[in-house]
Amino acid sequence: MTSTLTQVYPIIWESDRASLIDQTRLPDEYTRIEITTYQQMAEAIKTMIVRGAPAIGIAAAYGLYLGAREIQTSDRQEFLNQLEPIAQVLRATRPTAVNLFWAIDQMLQTATETPGTIEEIKTALLHKANTIREDDIKTCFAIGEAGLIVLPKIPEKLNILTHCNTGSLATGGYGTALGVIRSAWNSGRLNRVYADETRPRLQGAKLTTWECVQDQIPVTLISDNMAAHCMKQGLIHAVIVGADRITANGDAANKIGTYSLAIVAKAHNVPFFVAAPLSTVDFKLATGDEIPIEERDPTELYQVGTTRICPEGVEFFNPAFDVTPAELITAIITEKGAVIPGELKQFSVI
């Protein structure tokens, strides 16, 4: 089957700067923003110009290089000391996705382990950021392949429900859960994607449907509260979501609403898959109770566009993520293969 898949890259390094797709303007406008300082990169992550666990890791890696290249010293220790506050600014952008912290650690380790002059360390840091990005794209393709092995064999062409955006926009390119869906489409195993709109920021409605339309993958948008009805009607054969942090026992934090989707899938006997790179697994945390959950500005909740949807005097709670317990997850699909959550520990290098 001929692939109709397009290539969308949310983060590119060119002309000595990072170029980001401004995801806050999709689907109305496709624009790129040029980032030349680490402060701009931190702001882009915070405001979700760039978002999605692997993508913010890549963005933070380039952010660290952008900060490093401004450091003016020939003293190695002084250089390493000055990197730490830059790393701290980038770490403080978003708390839940562990890929951000993983990528910053990788960069700091590169700085520490590279011998030679400060200029040589700076060159090694840019090389490392490029490698993190390129590896992520390869990893997504491997996740896509691993996903094909565990998808239900019946019916031949599946309807797959997904939540939030886990595609090219959320990664170096291709995607994790949406990468599996792309691979299924490319190998003739997909009938249609059902995309949850994903309140409050609507990543499903704005970004996932945009990616599907780019690739001519049939997609049906539903609101988050329609999933149970669709499953009861027999419309959904599998659910595939991404993750922001998976703990050693296989609990998985992902976009708010994922947990209720997993419960609904269990109630209807629909397999529920989590697709994520191993850089999303935080083996230092035993269970999902230890995952820090980001709370975002309540305007995301009470405003649709510029219109306020509730009266004054209301209080708000706007957690951006929830944790799906391991027992609700059929399998975790990684670049090294798909495993049941209890078997995730085999990938630990600790």
Judged by CB under 6 A, does residue 143 bind ligand MRU? no
> Which residue in the set 128, 133, 206, 255 belongs to the binding site for ligand MRU (CB under 6 A)?
255
Q: Residue 346 Cβ, how far from ligand MRU at the closest point, in Å?
A: 22
- Residues 289, 309 contacting (CB under 8 angstroms): no
Judged by CB under 6 A, does residue 189 bind ligand MRU? no
Tokens of 119: 């200029």
Residue with tokens 């900060």: 67
245-247: strand order across its sheet: 281-282, 245-247, 252-255, 321-324
Judged by CB under 6 A, does residue 166 bind ligand MRU? yes
Q: 41-70 mask for ligand MRU (x: CB under 6 A)? A: ----------xxxx----------------
Nearest C-alpha neighbor of 171 from the set 339, 337, 11, 348: 11
- Rounded CA separation 113/125 (Å): 11
- Residues 212, 169 contacting (CB under 8 angstroms): no
Active-site annotation holder among 136, 196, 215, 244:
244
Q: Residue 292 Cβ, how far from ligand MRU at the closest point, in Å?
A: 14
- Rounded CA separation 120/309 (Å): 54
Q: 274-303 mask for ligand MRU (x: CB under 6 A)? A: ------------------------------
244 is catalytic: yes
Q: Is 53 annotated as a binding residue?
A: yes
Judged by CB under 6 A, does residue 203 bind ligand MRU? yes
- Rounded CA separation 170/88 (Å): 22
Judged by CB under 6 A, does residue 146 bind ligand MRU? no
> Which residue in the set 21, 97, 151, 227 belongs to the binding site for ligand MRU (CB under 6 A)?
97
158-162: strand order across its sheet: 219-222, 190-196, 158-162, 238-241, 272-275, 331-334, 337-339
Dihedral angle sign, alpha carbons of residues 278, 283, 286, 292:
negative
Q: 299-328 mask for ligand MRU (x: CB under 6 A)? A: ---------------------x--------
What are the residues binding ligand MRU (CB under 6 A)?
A: 51-54, 97, 164, 166, 170-171, 176, 203, 242-244, 254-255, 320
The binding site for substrate consists of 51-53, 94, 203, 254-255
Residues carrying an active site annotation: 244
